[in-house]
Chain A
Amino acid sequence: MAKIKLHRKIPHIDMTPMVDLFSLLLTFFMLTTSFRPQEPSAVDTPSSISEKQEPDKQLMCILIDKKGKCYFNMDNGPDSSTKYREKIVIKMTDQYKIKLSPKQIDKFAKLSFFGIPVQFLPQWIDAKDQAARDEIQNQLKKANKDGIPIDSTDNQLAWWVFFARQIDKDIQVEIKADSETDYKTVKKILDILQDKNVNKFNLTTNLEKVEVKIE
């Protein structure tokens, strides 16, 4: 009697439709994604009813954390050829007589928020990763030198704002402060901005529903 040959078959599922679906989803996410810039300090913004969206480009963001330390970020302008970030940092370092190599400038353009005195900028740029940058930040914190200086003796924030506005004429100002930040600090920063002729501010807030009843 002939042996019955057992066909050993691995159950095979056709994955093609799944792959199709996944590639569609992937394309969708890749195209719609806009990366959040990493924030140096967790900030819990207050809420308001405003539904206006944060502008995409040409925005400088001043982040003020709970302790009143100030961080700064600006973007590269409407497209990658404008290179506003590079131009601003060149102006700023010239002002403070700090030399940055072209490589450092290039690297700076790719980074995000910074909250250090400009004197520490080369060191901060050269740090090999985020952890090393955090380390610099922490060391400055111990010496109570972190955050961008806003005192009248060495008002670096004012210079950053000044150069940002000089390079990018249409730049808007966004202020992102923690709800527990002292108003005094915020007021000081608003004053600095007003001294540089900025009178329109965007305050980042969470959307909140309102209850209104008229009698």
Chain B
Amino acid sequence: MAEIMESNKPEKGGKRKPKKFSTNIDMTPMVDLMCLLITFFMLTTAFSKPKVMEIVLPEKKQDSSESPAIDKKRALTIILGENDAVYYYEGIAKPDSLPTLIKTDYSKDGIRKYLLKRNKPLYVKIDEFKKKVNKGELVLPKDSITSEIRKLKDADKVGPIVLIKATDKIKYKNFVDIIDEMAITNIARYAVVDLNPLELKMLESAPK
């Protein structure tokens, strides 16, 4: 609605002056509307996009049921148990000498501490590389940063090969947590596999 302000009325008898209208437009309703629209867009907009964690699982093979040979010294099995429990043992379980399971948890002093200890050489290498990039000593495009890290991981010959085995009763959170631990501690090689009967037996006698 335009607000029209009339100028002084023409004097009697005088010449008829053309009426002067001011051109002021009342902007209040427009401002109101814009306020509403802005509020709407501000509330519906999603600025930060959800983050995703990428995992690649090995292809399922029908023909070979054999698992690839793993260096006994490097093998590390992590078993995810009920109620946020994590068990691990080193090496490969054999029927005649069952290794004992060590119980730990998902906290930073739990499995992470142990994984870092095992994977220290590689972790330090990758960490130094990342620090260089962050400080600006190394200027690389993002793609080559990831490929450099991949190269470092591939070249690693001492770090653990982690086998993650989940029992049936765990929550999805536990699974994501353990994969996340792998990312935090820069583990080069890990795989998600099924429990074998020996490990089920070991779990029965595991510390509660």
List which A39-95 residues lie within 8 A (CB) of chain B: 45-55, 64
Instruction: With both chains docked as a complex, state the minimum distance between the C-beta of A206 and any C-beta of chain B, in angstroms.
Output: 7
Establish whether residues B52 and A194, one from each chain, have CB atoms under 8 Å apart when the complex forms: no
Number of A residues, CB within 8 Å of B: 59
Establish whether residues B56 and A200, one from each chain, have CB atoms under 8 Å apart when the complex forms: yes
Establish whether residues A179 and B53, one from each chain, have CB atoms under 8 Å apart when the complex forms: no
Closest B residue, CB atoms, query A68: B172
Establish whether residues B108 and A178, one from each chain, have CB atoms under 8 Å apart when the complex forms: no
A30, B171: Cα distance in complex, Å: 40
Query: Does A136 count as interface, using CB distance less than 8 angstroms?
Result: no
Q: Which of A18, A49, A186 has a CB less than 8 Å from the CB of B180?
A: A49
* Stretch of A19-27, A104-112, A146-154, A155-163 lying at the B interface: A19-27
List which B171-193 residues lie within 8 A (CB) of chain A: 171-177, 179-180, 183-185
A26, B33: Cα distance in complex, Å: 11
Say whether chain A's binding surface is mostly helix, strand, loop, or mixed: mixed
Interface residues on B, range: 35 or more
Query: Does B170 count as interface, using CB distance less than 8 angstroms?
Result: yes
The residue in B52, B169, B175, B183 that gathers the most chain A C-beta atoms within 10 A of its C-beta is B52
A149, B106: Cα distance in complex, Å: 33
Establish whether residues A205 and B52, one from each chain, have CB atoms under 8 Å apart when the complex forms: yes
Q: Which of A35, A51, A210 has a CB less than 8 Å from the CB of B44?
A: A35
Query: Does B24 count as interface, using CB distance less than 8 angstroms?
Result: yes
Closest B residue, CB atoms, query A190: B57
Establish whether residues B56 and A195, one from each chain, have CB atoms under 8 Å apart when the complex forms: no
Q: Given the complex, which residues of A lie within 8 Å of B175, measured CB to CB?
A: 183, 186
Instruction: With both chains docked as a complex, state the minimum distance between the C-beta of A205 and any C-beta of chain B, in angstroms.
Output: 5
A176, B54: Cα distance in complex, Å: 12
A26, B35: Cα distance in complex, Å: 9
Closest A residue, CB atoms, query B172: A181
Q: Which of B52, B60, B117, B171 has a CB less than 8 Å from the CB of A203?
A: B52
Complex A-B: 14 CB contacts under 8 Å:
A34-B46, A35-B45, A46-B176, A51-B51, A54-B51, A64-B172, A179-B176, A182-B169, A182-B171, A194-B59, A195-B60, A205-B51, A205-B180, A212-B116
